[in-house]
C-alpha cells in the first residue's frame, strides 16, 4: 500500500556538499525564474552539477523552509514507491494535516493513486507560502503510468507551488502545452558547464595550488567545463609534487575518469548501446551513414537520437540533428576501454570509416583515419599526388600533419614525399639538401618515365622557389622554364608556374612580362575549377597590385572573389579574409571609412576565429594596420593603443615564421613595414619611424619616401628633395602609382615651404592625375594649412580646365575633405540658383523675377558663370556644371 511504504529518511534531506560551492550568478538567476513557473527541468549528463546548482540556489535564497526534497533511485520506479515519496515529504511539513486515512480502504490501485494525487493537491493548496518540490535524479522514473500521473499533478498545482526536476536524461513527459504557456524553465548541460573564470574560482577554493592561467585554460578545454571532470582532475593532483603531467595529459584514460564513466554511465547501458559506443568512438563526427558503415548497423540515426536524449555525453553539431560528436573525455574513455578489450576492433572500425570517407570524397578524413591505425599503404596512394599540390595551394598544414605521421623510412623511399619535405624545409639548408639528395637518388632508379618526368618538373619548381627566396630572380626564371618543359601540358602545374613567374616579374619590376603571366594565370585558374587554387592565385595577384597602388584592379578582383560561388567552408575562411582586408584598404584610401571598417573587421574575425595566425601572419598584420588607420581617423585612441599592443604580440610570436603566407609574402615583409611606418607618421610617432629608417638599407623604393618625410620633418629639405627627385626620375618604378603619388605630394610640400608655388602646383596636379586613375582620396588630406590652400587652388584651376572635366567627381571628393565654404564653393550660392533656372529654360527676365533681382544683375551672374566654367553659352554652361557636379 502507498501509505504504508517505508523510505530511508535521507531521501528527504537536502544534500550537503563537501567541496566549496561556486555561486554562479548565471545559473542562480535562471533558477530564480523557477519561482514564476510550475516546472523547471535541469537535464544534463552525470557529474554536470545539477544537484549542486539547486542546493547552491536554495542556500543563496535561504529557501530551506520552502523546499520539499525528494531523492529518487531505481527502487522508486513504481506508482506505489513514487507517490509515497510525495506523501512522506508532505507529512513532514509543519502545520499540514495530510488526510490520507480514508484512502486505506481503497483496493483498486489506479483509483487509489488518482485519489492520493487529488488529496496531495488539496493538501498543498491550503499552503500560502511558496512551496518547491525538488525531485532529484528523475531519470530513474521510466514507468509510463507515473510519467502520466506526474503530468496530471503538475497541471493541478497552484501558482505558489513549483517543481524542479534534475535528470540525466530528458524526462519523457508531455510538456508542450506548459512550454507554450511559459510554465517551463529548461536548463541543459551547456549552461551548467563551468566557464574559465568559474573553473579558476573552483580550483582556488578547493585546492592549495595556484595554477597559471594557461594551465587552467588547458584543463577547462580538456574537460569542456564538465564539473565532475574538473573535480577528478583536482583529485588526481592531490599529493603530487609535480602536477604538470596531470595538467598536460589529463584525459579519458585517467584512472578516476575511467572508474567514474564505467560506474555512472557505461555499465548502465544495454549491450546494443555499449557495442555502438565502442565501435563509433574512433570517429570525430558522427553521422547516421558513417555510423552504419562503422558499426555494421542500419539504425544508427535512431541510436544517435536516443543516446543524445539520454545525455550520454553526445552533442549535436547541427540544427537538424544529423551530425553529432562525443564529448572529448568520454570519447577518450571509450577508446581506452576498446583498446583494453579488442585492439583489432579499433583497426577494423577505423578502416571501415576510412573507406567510407574515401568513397564519399572526404580524402583528408580518410587519410587521418588510416594514419590513426598505422595503415600506411592506402595513405601513400591517397596523398602521394596531393602533397606538393596542397603545399602550392596554401594547404600545407594538412601535408605537414600527414607526413609527420608517416615513418621516415617510408618518406625517404618516396620521391614526392621528399620533395614535399624540401618545401617544408626550404629555408633550412641542411634539411633541404638532405631530402633533395634522397629525391634525386630515388629518381635515378625509377623506371616509371611518366612519374620521373613529373617529379623532375616539381623539383625544378622547388629549386626556382629556393632561388626566389635568395633573390636570384634570373636563376628562378630558368628553373621555372625548365619545369614548364616537363609539366607544361598539365593545367595545374601551368597555373603554378605562371603564378610564380608573375611574382618574379613583380620583383624584377617588369610590368609587361608580369601582365602577360597575370593574364595567363587568370585565364587558366578560372577554367581549372578548384576553389582553393583560384583564391590563392587571386590572393597573390591582389597583394602585388595593392603594393603598386592599383586600387581599381584590386577592388575588381576582390569583388569577384567575394561574390563567386565557392564551398561553404571557404566563405568564412582565413583565405577569403585576404580579400576583405585588401578591399578594406581600398575603401580606406578612397576615404569610405565606414565600409573600410566593416570589411576589415570581417577579415580579421575570420583569421582570428580560425586561429592559424602563423599561416596568415602578413594578412592579419595588414588587417591590423588598416584598422589602426581607421581608429586614428575616428580618434578612438584607447582602442588604437590596445590594437598596437595586439600587433606587437603578433609580431613577437610570428614575425620569423618562414611558413607564413606561402608564395613568399615573407619576402614582402619590408612593404608591410612601410605601411606600419606610415601609420606611425600619421599618429605622430616620429621617433619610432626615425629609429626604423636608420637601420634600413633601402632595398625597396617605398622606404625612400618614408626617409624623405623624416628629412622634411627635420627641416633637411634639400636632402629630401634629392631623394624624391631620384624616385621620380626612375623608370623602374613607373608602374607604381601609389609610390609616385606620395613622392609628388612630398616634393610639393618642399616646394611649398620654399615658396616655389608654381613647382608645388605642378607636382600636386601630377599627383591628382595619378590619384584619379586609382581613386586615391586620403593621400590628399593635408594637416598643413599652406599645403591645403595650395591643393584647393590647384583643384579650382583644374576644374575650370576642359582637359580635366572627367576628373570633376573625383576632385569634388577631395574637396569634401575640407569642409569650409570658403574652400569648397567654386561658384556662389546665387550663381548656382541662376544655373538651375537656366537648366529649366528660364530667360534673363524670368531669372530676375524669380530671384527678385534686376535683369542686368541676372545678366552679370550669367557672364560670371560662363567665365568661371570656361564656356560661351547656356547649353555649354549646364553641361559643364553637370559634368563637374555643381548641379
Same domain, 138 and 29: yes
The answer on 756 and 719 residing in a single domain is: yes
**Residue from 774, 759, 758, 686 nearest 728 by CA:** 759
CA separation for the pair 217, 302 (Å, rounded): 36
Among 176, 192, 208, the domain-final residue is 192
For position 94, what pLDDT does the model report? Answer: 66
For residue 439 the three cell numbers come to: 629525391
Cell of 282: 574512433
Does a structural domain hold residue 128?
yes
Q: Which residues of 214-231 are buried (b: 16+ CB within 10 A; e: fewer)?
A: ebbeebbebbbbbbbbbb
Residue with cell 535683369: 855
Q: Is 623:600 a contact under the CB 8 Å cutoff?
A: yes
Please list, in sequence order, all residues whose beta carbon lies within 8 angstroms of the beta carbon of residue 855, skipping any fewer than 6 positions away.
Answer: 844, 845, 848
Spans in the chain with pLDDT lower than 50: 1-2, 102-103, 105-108, 660-663, 820-824
Distance CA(832)–CA(819), nearest Å, equals: 18
Q: Is residue 773 part of a domain?
A: yes
Local structure of 132: helix, strand or coil: strand
What pLDDT sits at residue 6? 67
Where are the extended beta strands (E) located within 713-845?
none
Q: The whole model's pTM is what? A: 0.65
Last residue of a domain, one of 776, 791, 824: 824
**Do the domain assignments include residue 595?**
no
Residue from 388, 393, 384 nearest 411 by CA: 384
DSSP string, 674-736: HHHHHHHHHTT-HHHHHHHHHT----STHHHHHHHHHHHHTT-HHHHHHHHHHHHT-STTTT-
Please report whether residue 850 resides in a domain.
yes
Whether residues 180 and 208 share a domain: the answer is no
Measured from the Cβ of residue 67, the count of other Cβ atoms closer than 10 Å reads 20
Quick one: which of 228, 235, 168 has its CA closest to 193? Answer: 228
Tell me: do 146 and 19 sit in the same domain: yes
Cβ neighbours of residue 228 closer than 8 Å, sequence gap 6 or more: 46, 47, 48, 49, 260
- Name, in order, each residue with C-beta under 8 angstroms of 128's C-beta and a sequence gap of 6 or more: 160
Residue 170 lies in a domain: yes
Is there a single domain that holds both residue 737 and residue 839?
no
- 835 and 798 in a common domain: no
Q: Could you give the CA distance from residue 880 to residue 887 in angstroms, rounded to a whole number?
A: 9
b/e per residue 466-489 (b: at least 16 CB within 10 A): bbbeeeebeebbebbebbbebbee
Per this entry, what is the length of the chain? 887
Q: Which three cell numbers, joined as nine digits, stand for 793?
A: 587652388
CATH of the domain at 60: 3.40.50.300
Is there a contact between 338 and 278 (Cβ–Cβ < 8 Å)? Answer: yes
Residue 414 lies in a domain: no
Residues 812 and 877 in one domain: no
63: number of Cβ within 10 Å? 15
Cα–Cα distance, 581 to 626 (Å, whole number) = 8
**Alpha-carbon gap, residue 499 to 504, rounded angstroms:** 9
Q: What is the CATH number of the domain that holds 837?
A: 1.10.10.10
User: CA 239, CA 507: separation in Å to the nearest integer?
Assistant: 62
How far is residue 651's CA from residue 9's CA, in Å, rounded to a whole number? 65
Dihedral of CA atoms 201, 205, 211, 217 in degrees, nearest 10, equals -30
Residues 6+ apart with CB under 8 A from 127: 93, 96, 160, 161
CB of 878 closer than 8 Å to CB of 860: no
**In this structure, what are the phi and psi dihedrals at residue 274, rounded to the nearest 5 degrees?**
-60, -45
CA angle (408 as vertex; 403, 412 as ends), nearest 5: 95
Q: How many other C-beta atoms can be found within 10 angstroms of the C-beta atom of residue 282?
A: 22
**Which string of b and e fits 239-266 if b means at least 16 CB within 10 Å?**
eeeebeebbeebbbbbeebbebbeeebb
Pair 798, 768: CB distance under 8 Å: yes
pLDDT of residue 109: 53
- CA gyration radius, the chain: 38
70: closest CA among 84, 85, 83, 59? 85
Q: What angle do CA 331, 233, 23 make, to 5 degrees?
A: 105
Note whether 25 and 49 are same-domain residues: yes
The maximal CA–CA distance of the chain, rounded, in angstroms, is 119
Burial 671-698 (b: 16+ CB within 10 A, else e): bbbbbbbbbbbebeeeeebbebbeebee
Same domain, 101 and 209: no
Residues 144 and 157 in one domain: yes
Q: What is the pLDDT of residue 195?
A: 86
Residue 841 and residue 816 share a domain: no
Position 175 in a domain: yes
Distance CA(545)–CA(552), nearest Å, equals 9
* 3-class DSSP state of 217: helix
C-alpha span between 366 and 841 (Å, rounded): 77
- Which of residues 157, 192, 227 is at a domain's end? 192
234 domain-assigned: yes
30 and 169, same domain (yes or no)? yes
The alpha carbon torsion through 41, 45, 51, 54 (nearest 10 deg) reads: -40
Domain that holds residue 855: 829-883
What is the bridge-based pairing of β-strands 323-326 and 286-287?
A: antiparallel
Residue 32 CA to residue 23 CA, distance in Å, equals 13
- SS3 for 519? helix
Sign of the torsion formed by the C-alpha atoms of 77, 83, 84 and 87:
positive
732 close to 509: Cβ distance less than 8 angstroms: yes
How much is the pLDDT for 652? 78
Nearest of 604, 515, 512, 502 to residue 553 by alpha carbon: 515
The count of structural domains within the chain is: 4
d(CA 380, CA 390): 15
Give Cα 371 distance to the centre of its chain: 28
Residue 13: left (phi > 0), alpha (psi -120 to 50), or beta? beta
The three cell numbers of residue 481 are 622554364
Amino acid at each position: 500500500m502507498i501509505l504504508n511504504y517505508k523510505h530511508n529518511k535521507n531521501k528527504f534531506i537536502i544534500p550537503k556538499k563537501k567541496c566549496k560551492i561556486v555561486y554562479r550568478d548565471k545559473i542562480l538567476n535562471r533558477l530564480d525564474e523557477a519561482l514564476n513557473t510550475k516546472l523547471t527541468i535541469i537535464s544534463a549528463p552525470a557529474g554536470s552539477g545539477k544537484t549542486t546548482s539547486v542546493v547552491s540556489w536554495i542556500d543563496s535564497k535561504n529557501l530551506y523552509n520552502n523546499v520539499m526534497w525528494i531523492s529518487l533511485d531505481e527502487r522508486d520506479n513504481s506508482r506505489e514507491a513514487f507517490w509515497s515519496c510525495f506523501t512522506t515529504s508532505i507529512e513532514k511539513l509543519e502545520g499540514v494535516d495530510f488526510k490520507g486515512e480514508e484512502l486505506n480502504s481503497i483496493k483498486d490501485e489506479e483509483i487509489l493513486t488518482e485519489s492520493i494525487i487529488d488529496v496531495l493537491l488539496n493538501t498543498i493548496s491550503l499552503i500560502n507560502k511558496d512551496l518547491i518540490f525538488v525531485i532529484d535524479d528523475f531519470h530513474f522514473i521510466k514507468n509510463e503510468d507515473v510519467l502520466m500521473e506526474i503530468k496530471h499533478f503538475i497541471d493541478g498545482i497552484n501558482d505558489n507551488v513549483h517543481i524542479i526536476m534534475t535528470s540525466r536524461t530528458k524526462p519523457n513527459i508531455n510538456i508542450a502545452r506548459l512550454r507554450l504557456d511559459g510554465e517551463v524553465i529548461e536548463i541543459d548541460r551547456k549552461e551548467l558547464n563551468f566557464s574559465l573564470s568559474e573553473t579558476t574560482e573552483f580550483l582556488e577554493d578547493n585546492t592549495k595550488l595556484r595554477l597559471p592561467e594557461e594551465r587552467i585554460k588547458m584543463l577547462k578545454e580538456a574537460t569542456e567545463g564538465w564539473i565532475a571532470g574538473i573535480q577528478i582532475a583536482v583529485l588526481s593532483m592531490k599529493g603530487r609534487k609535480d602536477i604538470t603531467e596531470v595538467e598536460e595529459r589529463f584525459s579519458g584514460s585517467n584512472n578516476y575518469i575511467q572508474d567514474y564513466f564505467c560506474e555512472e554511465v557505461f555499465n548502465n547501458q544495454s549491450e546494443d548501446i555499449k557495442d555502438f559506443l565502442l565501435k563509433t568512438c574512433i570517429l570525430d563526427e558522427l553521422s547516421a551513414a558513417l555510423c552504419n558503415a562503422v558499426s555494421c548497423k542500419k539504425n544508427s540515426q535512431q541510436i544517435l537520437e536516443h543516446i543524445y536524449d539520454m545525455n550520454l555525453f553526445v552533442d549535436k553539431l547541427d540544427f537538424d540533428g544529423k551530425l553529432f560528436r562525443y564529448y572529448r573525455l568520454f570519447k577518450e574513455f571509450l577508446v581506452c576501454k576498446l583498446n583494453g578489450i579488442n585492439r583489432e576492433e579499433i583497426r577494423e572500425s577505423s578502416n571501415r570509416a576510412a573507406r567510407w570517407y574515401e568513397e564519399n570524397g572526404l580524402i583528408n578524413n580518410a587519410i587521418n583515419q588510416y594514419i590513426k591505425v598505422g595503415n600506411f599503404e592506402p595513405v601513400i596512394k591517397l596523398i602521394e599526388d596531393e602533397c606538393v599540390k596542397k603545399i602550392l595551394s596554401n594547404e600545407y598544414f594538412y601535408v605537414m600533419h600527414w607526413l609527420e605521421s608517416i615513418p621516415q623510412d617510408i618518406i625517404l623511399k618516396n620521391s614526392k614525399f621528399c620533395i614535399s619535405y624540401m618545401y617544408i624545409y626550404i629555408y633550412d639548408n641542411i634539411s633541404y639538401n638532405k631530402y633533395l639528395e634522397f629525391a634525386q637518388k630515388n629518381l635515378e632508379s625509377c623506371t616509371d618515365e611518366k612519374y620521373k618526368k613529373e617529379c623532375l618538373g616539381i623539383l625544378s619548381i622547388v629549386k626556382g622557389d629556393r632561388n626566389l627566396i635568395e633573390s636570384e630572380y634570373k636563376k628562378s626564371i630558368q628553373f621555372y622554364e625548365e619545369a614548364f618543359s616537363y609539366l607544361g601540358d598539365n593545367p595545374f602545374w601551368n597555373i603554378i608556374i605562371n603564378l610564380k613567374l608573375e611574382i618574379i616579374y613583380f620583383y624584377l619590376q617588369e610590368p609587361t612580362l608580369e601582365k602577360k603571366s597575370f593574364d595567363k594565370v587568370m585565364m587558366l585558374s578560372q577554367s581549372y575549377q578548384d576553389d582553393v587554387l583560384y583564391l590563392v592565385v587571386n590572393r597573390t595577384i591582389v597583394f602585388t597590385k595593392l603594393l603598386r597602388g592599383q586600387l581599381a584592379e584590386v577592388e575588381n578582383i576582390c569583388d569577384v572573389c567575394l561574390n563567386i560561388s565557392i564551398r561553404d567552408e571557404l566563405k568564412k575562411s582565413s583565405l577569403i579574409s585576404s580579400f576583405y582586408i585588401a578591399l578594406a584598404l581600398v575603401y580606406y584610401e578612397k576615404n569610405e571609412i565606414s565600409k573600410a571598417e566593416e570589411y576589415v573587421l570581417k577579415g580579421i574575425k575570420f583569421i582570428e576565429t580560425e586561429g592559424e595566425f602563423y599561416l596568415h601572419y602578413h594578412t592579419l598584420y595588414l588587417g591590423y594596420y588598416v584598422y589602426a588607420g581607421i581608429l586614428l581617423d575616428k580618434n578612438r585612441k584607447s582602442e588604437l593603443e590596445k590594437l598596437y599592443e595586439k600587433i606587437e604580440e603578433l609580431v613577437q610570436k610570428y614575425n620569423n615564421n618562414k611558413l607564413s603566407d606561402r608564395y613568399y609574402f615573407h619576402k614582402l615583409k619590408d612593404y608591410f613595414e612601410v605601411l606600419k611606418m606610415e601609420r606611425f607618421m600619421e599618429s605622430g610617432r616620429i621617433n619610432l619611424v626615425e629609429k626604423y629608417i636608420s637601420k634600413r638599407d633601402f632595398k625597396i623604393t617605398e622606404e625612400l619616401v618614408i626617409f624623405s618625410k623624416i628629412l622634411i620633418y627635420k627641416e633637411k629639405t634639400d636632402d629630401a628633395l634629392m631623394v624624391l627627385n631620384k624616385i621620380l626620375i626612375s623608370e623602374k618604378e613607373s608602374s607604381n602609382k601609389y609610390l609616385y603619388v606620395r613622392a609628388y605630394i612630398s616634393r610639393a610640400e618642399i616646394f611649398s615651404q620654399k615658396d616655389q608655388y608654381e613647382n608645388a602646383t605642378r607636382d600636386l596636379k601630377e599627383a591628382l592625375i595619378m590619384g584619379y586613375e586609382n581613386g586615391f582620396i586620403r593621400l590628399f588630406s593635408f594637416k598643413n594649412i599652406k599645403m591645403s590652400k595650395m591643393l584647393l587652388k590647384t583643384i579650382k584651376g583644374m576644374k575650370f580646365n576642359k582637359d580635366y572635366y572627367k576628373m570633376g567627381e573625383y576632385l569634388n571628393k577631395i574637396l569634401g575633405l575640407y569642409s569650409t565654404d570658403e574652400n569648397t564653393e567654386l561658384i556662389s550660392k546665387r550663381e548656382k540658383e541662376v544655373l538651375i533656372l537656366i537648366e529649366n529654360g528660364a530667360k534673363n527676365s524670368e531669372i530676375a523675377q524669380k530671384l527678385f533681382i534686376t535683369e542686368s544683375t541676372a545678366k552679370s551672374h550669367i557672364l560670371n558663370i560662363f567665365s568661371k566654367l570656361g564656356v560661351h553659352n547656356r547649353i555649354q554652361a549646364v553641361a559643364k556644371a553637370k559634368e563637374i557636379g555643381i548641379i
